[in-house]
Structure 1
Amino acid sequence: MEFRHLKYFVVVAEERHFTRAAERLGMAQPPLSQQIRKLEHEIGAQLFRRLTRGVELTDAGRVLYEDARRIVNEVELAKSRAQGAARGQTGSIRVGFASSVVFHPVIADIVRAYRESHPAVRLSPSESNVEALIDDLMAGRIDLAIIRQTSQESDRLKTEALLDEDMLIVLPPQHPMAASPCIDLRSIAHETLIMFPRAIAPALYDEVISACQRAGFTPLLGQESTQVASAVSMVAAGFGVSVVPNSIRQVHAGVSYHAIEGTRPKAQIVLAYRSGEFSRVVRNFVGLAKRLVQERSAVDAA
């Protein structure tokens, strides 16, 4: 029993007329009648009773109609789901976020825009440090990561720059330079610098240290914070000063944030995914993220 025969049968049963059914199916009436006769021959029972103006189902036809309609509907649904998956409109995506990037407002906008434009895709977020997210990505535990620039090089890993943000100096409450909106990096040469462990974000760590060295000093490193954002809390507690990405200024802990004079160190945010990624869902997310950032940049530049 061929699927097309069941589909033809269902349409004729619903229209109760061969000519109207043929028009709906986009075919001529004689071939349709021939296909229905083949189906009746295969089943060994008459399915339609011919009337003066149309047809009606026989007892055998009514029984077959219930099963045939269910089968046709399920096949059409399966086809629709497969097509949706091929377009990246259905399925799931697991996205990892570096702990510090979640503070950037554009990241929330990307997630919101993706969920609105792909409502049938289940997005599962997770948060960790850069190195752990790269490991999860390579192990297939996540599909894509939004992280700070990574120093890891691999033929299996592809990264695409998303945006750069300036880094700021963070000073504790009542610091003598707290009233200065812009500070030379050399001004903190004799301060204790609070940094996060290099292992959780090597490229970002190296960017800060290199900026200090370019400014002519080697920083006095103090106690490490557990994460990039938690450095702010340690500054507020009086452990020293820090240099953090601009978006971290959303952390209000009684500290003050200051622009850096001259060449400012940058904190880059990148998209990371497996090289040769074939998932349309992942490619759609990457494309949307890049378009949104470009649109925001164009608006800011106007």
Structure 2
Amino acid sequence: MDIRHFRYFLAVARQRNFTRAAEQLGIAPPTLSRQIQDLENELGTRLFLRQQRDVSLTEAGAALLGDAEATVRQFEMAQRNAQRAGRGDIGHIELGYVASAVYSGLLQKQVQAFVSDYPDVSLNVRETPMASLPAMVLEGRFDLGYVRCPMAFPDGLEAIRLASEGFVLALPADSWLCRLPQIAPEHLQNETFILPEQVSGTLSIAAQGEFAPKLGPQPGGLVAVIALVSLGQGVAMVPESVVGHVSLPNVLYRNVLRSEASSWLALIHRRFEKAPAVARYIERVKGL
């Protein structure tokens, strides 16, 4: 007994006629009659009362009807779900990101675009320290990660380059630098630099000013970095997208004259991604 027998049984039960049911199923009436007999023999009971032209359900047939309908419905749903999962229309994605992906608006734009196209794919989105994200993606603890480059990646990962932006200087509002009409790289040679996760802005501005930077703590996320600036512990080179999104007491943002420092967001993923939903997300980002 298999799902085909249930489908044949339901066709006869609904049509109350073997000929009409056979036409609906696209098989010959004798074949249908034989399949119903096989089902009855398997169950050890009659399901239909045969009359001259029509048939009616026995008590056993009536008892089977609801369960047969539910079984066929569940089977068809399982088929559809398997097909949709294979296409990437349903599934689950674990996504990690650095805070500047949110400040730039890029994360919201790309997640919302994906959810709009694939509403049945669930996403679990978590802010994660950037230094650990590549390994976590490679190990499968995350499927995708938004990081700020430049940075090195382990073998097995690929990065899709996304939006670029420059850096600005976050400094205490009472710093002597605030009194300057313009801040040049060389003005920063005696400052302590609070380090964000992406240190390329700090290193670039020091190279332009031709000095070795005095490095302070590296507290983690951008809010923690700017909090230390607010406490007067130093200055920090942070992505431009922070301006207007992170506003703390005693902190000002200033451009640095002739600054060439820049960085870019990237989406990292496993090189040979096999999960259809994750592959769909990667394709969607590449197409934006």
Question: What TM-score do the two structures reach when normalised by structure 2?
Answer: 0.85
Partner of 1:73: 73
Deviation of 1:55 after TM superposition, in Å, equals 2.5
Does the alignment pair 1:271 with 2:267? yes
Deviations 1:11-49 (A, max 9, x none): 221333344434543445554344334333444443222
Question: Whole-Å Cα distance in 2 between the matches of residues 28 and 289 of structure 1?
Answer: 51
Deviations 1:58-114 (A, max 9, x none): 223223323322221221121122112112222221111124433221212222333
Question: Whole-Å Cα distance in 2 between the matches of residues 228 and 91 of structure 1?
Answer: 32
**3-state DSSP of counterpart to 1:238:** coil
Deviations 1:107-132 (A, max 9, x none): 12222333333332222222221122
Partner of 1:219: 213
Return closer, same or farther for 1:239/1:5 CA change in 2, 3 Å cut-off.
same
Question: Whole-Å Cα distance in 1 between the matches of residues 205 and 29 of structure 2?
Answer: 79
Q: Find the partner of 1:208 among 191, 194, 202.
A: 202
Deviations 1:240-282 (A, max 9, x none): 3211011222100142223344453222211122221100111
Partner of 1:188: 188
Return closer, same or farther for 1:45/1:225 CA change in 2, 3 Å cut-off.
closer
Deviation of 1:213 after TM superposition, in Å, equals 0.5
Partner of 1:251: 246
Partner of 1:170: 170
Question: Whole-Å Cα distance in 1 between the matches of residues 19 and 202 of structure 2?
Answer: 77
Deviation of 1:183 after TM superposition, in Å, equals 4.6
Return closer, same or farther for 1:223/1:47 CA change in 2, 3 Å cut-off.
closer
Partner of 1:64: 64
What amino acid does structure 1 have at the position aligned with 2:248?
A
Partner of 2:38: 38
Question: Whole-Å Cα distance in 2 between the matches of residues 109 and 236 of structure 1?
Answer: 30
Q: Percent identity?
A: 33
Which range moves more in the overlay, 70-79 or 112-121? 112-121
What amino acid does structure 1 have at the position aligned with 2:231?
A
Question: Whole-Å Cα distance in 2 between the matches of residues 288 and 153 of structure 1?
Answer: 22
Deviation of 1:215 after TM superposition, in Å, equals 4.2
Gaps of 5+ in 2: none
Question: Whole-Å Cα distance in 2 between the matches of residues 143 and 182 of structure 1?
Answer: 44
Question: Whole-Å Cα distance in 2 between the matches of residues 184 and 23 of structure 1?
Answer: 85
| Residues 105-254 of structure 1 aligned to structure 2 (within 5 Å) | 105-149=105-149, 151-175=151-175, 178=178, 183-196=183-196, 201=197, 204-249=198-243, 250-254=245-249
Does the alignment pair 1:54 with 2:49? no
Q: Find the partner of 1:288 among 276, 284, 287.
A: 284
Contact between 1:180 and 1:258, CA under 8 Å: does it hold in 2? Answer: no
In the comparison of the two structures, how many residue pairs are matched? 286
**3-state DSSP of counterpart to 2:145:** strand
Partner of 2:7: 7
Partner of 1:299: none
Question: Whole-Å Cα distance in 1 between the matches of residues 227 and 185 of structure 2?
Answer: 21
Deviations 1:168-193 (A, max 9, x none): 12232144554889754334334332
Deviation of 1:151 after TM superposition, in Å, equals 3.2
CA RMSD of aligned residues (A): 2.8
Contact between 2:97 and 2:127, CA under 8 Å: does it hold in 1? Answer: yes
What amino acid does structure 1 have at the position aligned with 2:203?
I
Contact between 1:137 and 1:145, CA under 8 Å: does it hold in 2? Answer: yes
**3-state DSSP of counterpart to 1:284:** helix
What amino acid does structure 2 have at the position aligned with 1:236?
S
**3-state DSSP of counterpart to 2:173:** coil
What amino acid does structure 1 have at the position aligned with 2:247?
H
Contact between 2:5 and 2:36, CA under 8 Å: does it hold in 1? Answer: yes
